Amino acid sequence: MAEVKKFWDVQFHKRAFPHIQQAFVLPPNMMEEMDPFLILAEDWFQKGTFPDHPHKGFQTITYVIDGRLEHIDNKGGRGILSAGDIQYMNAGSGARHAEEPVDDDIVHSLQLWLNLPAALKNSEPFYQDIHAEKVPVKQIGSATVRVFSGENGPMKPLVPFSMAEVSLPENELYLHNLEADHTAFIYMLTGCCEIGESKTRLLKGQAALLTAGTTLQLKAEKRSKALIYSGKPHGEPIVARGPFVMNTQEEIREAFQDYQSGKFGPRAK
């Protein structure tokens, strides 16, 4: 049985327009401990917050909670995500894109940065938009489980990774399957749950790193919703600078040089 290893309150911060509010569910200083996860950012924003920008060496999983988010890349790709939709992006050898709300929408999103092992740092960039209606919904007892990745979920990540959203009525119990060799964490979106046999209470706005185990037990004290993420650690050095995540300082310098010399291509517009 997996238990709570440590938990924390997510700190939300007001920002200047157009970036309304921001929080790090997984802050950057936990990268080594959370391998293969780098950060998980929660944002409320309007147009002008995330215009054209580059990435290299990792993957992003963007979950739109509310609003309409338009994605544009510099190779002609374009798509609109609505509430409940997800985009998986492999930045790999270098991607350049923009993520902007449609019209005057305020977008509320969660974006996970998922590291790539050294062997895949220079893989070909690609995007996968997953609309809510394509996400399998499982009714497991009283729990409603949306499976984004893992267990036949539609996401096709390059590394072992699972993501599920669990909705649980008051006083109900749910058992979630995990891989024993994965790093796993949980983020409470609403409500309050007791986690594991230790019955550690997690409230809305709290996140927890879990111990190794093949089963995670959740019992809802009241109507609750949680996201559960897990991924296999790489056990490699992590060097992160701005939008690039590599294994050495020299690789970071090369990434900046490549971007500045135009090797990432033209602006996304």
Structure tokens at 235: 């056990």
Q: Any idea how long the chain is?
A: 269
Domains recognised in the chain with CATH numbers:
4-231 (2.60.120.10)
Residue with tokens 């054209």: 52
Convert the pLDDT of each residue in 151-188 to its tens digit.
889 999 999 999 999 999 999 999 999 999 999 999 99
Convert the pLDDT of each residue in 209-259 to its tens digit.
999 999 999 999 999 999 999 999 999 999 999 999 999 999 999 999 999
Q: CA 111, CA 40: separation in Å to the nearest integer?
A: 6
Convert the pLDDT of each residue in 79-122 to its tens digit.
999 999 999 999 999 999 999 999 999 999 999 999 999 999 99
Q: Nearest Cα to 195, choosing from 179, 181, 211?
A: 211
Q: CA 77, CA 101: separation in Å to the nearest integer?
A: 16
pTM equals 0.97
Q: CA 17, CA 119: separation in Å to the nearest integer?
A: 40
Q: CA 31, CA 28: separation in Å to the nearest integer?
A: 6
- Rg (C-alpha) for the chain, rounded Å, is 18
Q: What is the pLDDT of residue 138?
A: 96
